[in-house]
Copies of this chain bind each other. A is one copy, B any other.
Amino acid sequence: MSFIAPRFSPPERILMGPGPSDVPRRVLNAMAAPTLGHLDPDYLAIMDEVRDFLRKVFRTSNEMTMAIPGTGSAGMEATVVNLVEPGDEVIVCVNGVFGGRLKDVAERAGAKVLALEAPWGETIEPAAIASALEQQPGTKAVMIVHAETSTGAHQSLEEISKLVHDAGALLLVDAVTSLAGVPLDLDALKIDACYSGTQKCLSCPPGLAPVSFSAAAVDKIMSRKTKVQSWYLDVSMLKSYWGQERVYHHTAPINMTYALREALAIVLEEGLESRWARHQLNHEALRAGLEAIGLKYIPKHSLASLNAIHVPDGVDEAGVRKRLLTDYGIEIGAGLGPFKGKAWRIGLMGASSTRRHVMTVLAALEDLLKVSGGSAAASDVYAKQ
């Protein structure tokens, strides 16, 4: 009669999809520390430490830097709904799933959206931004994805940032798959609102969204004429909890914050430049290996953290992915949207960006695709190092 639940014992995987990435045991152990109250002085000190660490990882001095209590998409929604008031004209760059999602979120917030599209896999050209800004001179904000997780495209931001600010608009950037894996410097790039997720290059479980707002963005938020449509994501209230006032807003995800604290500590102990260099090296090795076995990259400018490749004709896309999971315990990602059934996405993020991961996935692909030469090509890249 009495109920006994089966023993809980999820399998161990090698996570090389588009996130989550492998989470170090040190982070999982920190997450399992005893829960504190969300207003406990010891917890507030942890929040301060997380904010300090986040500023260093974002490379910003922005006062309004914090972790939104939700996954990366909550970070997207938080930045958009706070910056946008109904009727605001914005430009949204769409060259993949996440640009498309930004457009949807902005429209739900009542924005008048000019969608600037580029083919999936390509990036947005500064000239296209310039002409969109001319076309819509009242533009309040430009929204763009730094690391398009659906295509692996790596967007350059320097020139675009200058154009956007010269036009008097704010720049909002999706850095979900780039933060702590690919060079990003919020203050140097003058980014006004940026969001990320914990489960990518930070190698923390999913559940929090690091965000940061520039002083100009905060000015826009604090001078809104209408309330932010989301109570949960209202930055003017979150500000009072993360700031000196410590006004109760929501019950923070305490143990997730522990995990993020520890993940950020690991990033800072490695050093951002070293971490970026590690991601770049492992990406180059994997790329050499994949190309040696005849696989072609989708984006012209690939992220170091995510490798999106075309599935060769005649190969069973889902079948190979399934065998990677069952025979090797390796997770890679499928294609989304127009790439459904036609692409694989191999992540090399955070703790999953290692020589061991690169050589293991190449060995597995050589085995399953009955090809050779990939491992040797990757090995050559490491040897030249």
Binding site for B on A (CB under 8 A): 2-5, 8-13, 15, 17, 19-20, 22-23, 28-38, 40-43, 46, 53, 69-74, 76-77, 101, 104-105, 107-109, 197, 199, 205-207, 227-232, 248-256, 258-259, 261-262, 265, 268-269, 271, 325, 331, 336
Contacts and interface: CB of A to CB of B under 8 A. Distances in A.
B5 A269 contact: yes
A254 B36 contact: no
Contacts of A227: 107-108
Contacts of A199: 35, 251, 254
Contacts of A10: 33-34, 36, 42-43, 46, 258
A252 B205 CA distance: 9
A249 B20 CA distance: 14
B37 A254 contact: no
Contact of A205 (B30, B35, B71): B35
A71 B251 contact: yes
Given A35-B205, A35-B206, 18 more contacts: A3-B271, A5-B53, A8-B262, A10-B33, A10-B34, A10-B42, A11-B36, A13-B36, A20-B254, A28-B35, A35-B199, A40-B325, A41-B325, A69-B207, A70-B70, A70-B74, A206-B252, A207-B255
A97 to B, nearest CB: 9
A1 to B, nearest CB: 9
A76 B29 CA distance: 31
A44 to B, nearest CB: 12
A90 B35 CA distance: 37
B32 A17 contact: no
Contact of A269 (B4, B11, B108, B206): B4
Contacts of A35: 15, 20, 22-23, 28, 199, 205-206
Contacts of A11: 34, 36, 42
Given A207-B207, A232-B70, A33 B5 contact: no
